Amino acid sequence: MTKTLASPKTVNSQKPLLVVLSGPSGTGKSTIVAELLKQDRRFCVSISATTRSRRFAEKEGRDYYFLSTNEFRNKKRRGEFIETASVFEEWYGTPKKPLLEALKRNRLVLFDIDVQGGRSIKKWRKDAVLIFILPPSMAVLRKRLASRKT
């Protein structure tokens, strides 16, 4: 049975809304995002930019914007990111331009980013909603991570 996560009745927004989902790997953030996208067409996903290499099934502009380190640095220097973070010697950031376009179209924007990034989004837009996702238990989290070899 599929549970409804959002509907026009539960998300009554006449203005754009930013929803940041944060939490450890394996807690279900991607699953929640996928369900929200299926249930309400007003939702869209903020796509991060990164300097890390593209993985097998990833697509440019769907999963990430893949940039060279120099491209990333130049965009950062020009103020084209709302937030950036260095993780394991790779850079990640939230590009401003697509986000501003989504807000102009009154979209409900979902973020799947770390807590630090969520704080930066909240600083940028005080009305952003931050949600930290926890696993049902540590045993369930271990099982999820083991099954995907993370």
pLDDT tens figures, 18-61: 999 998 888 889 899 999 999 999 999 999 999 999 988 899 99
Residue 1 counted as domain residue: no
The Cα–Cα gap between 53 and 67 comes to 9
Indicate the pTM of the whole model: 0.80
The total number of structural domains that make up the chain: 1
Residue 5 counted as domain residue: no
Which contiguous run of DSSP H or E holds residue 76?
helix 69-77
Q: What is the CATH number of the domain that holds 120?
A: 3.40.50.300
Residue 3 counted as domain residue: no
- For 59, how many CA atoms within 13 A lie in the half-sphere containing its CB? 2
| pLDDT, tens only, 59-104 | 999 999 999 999 999 999 999 999 999 988 999 999 999 999 999 9
Residue 12 counted as domain residue: no
Residue 6 counted as domain residue: no
What is the domain extent for residue 57?
A: 17-147
The Cα–Cα gap between 99 and 102 comes to 5
The Cα–Cα gap between 50 and 130 comes to 22
Residue 2 counted as domain residue: no
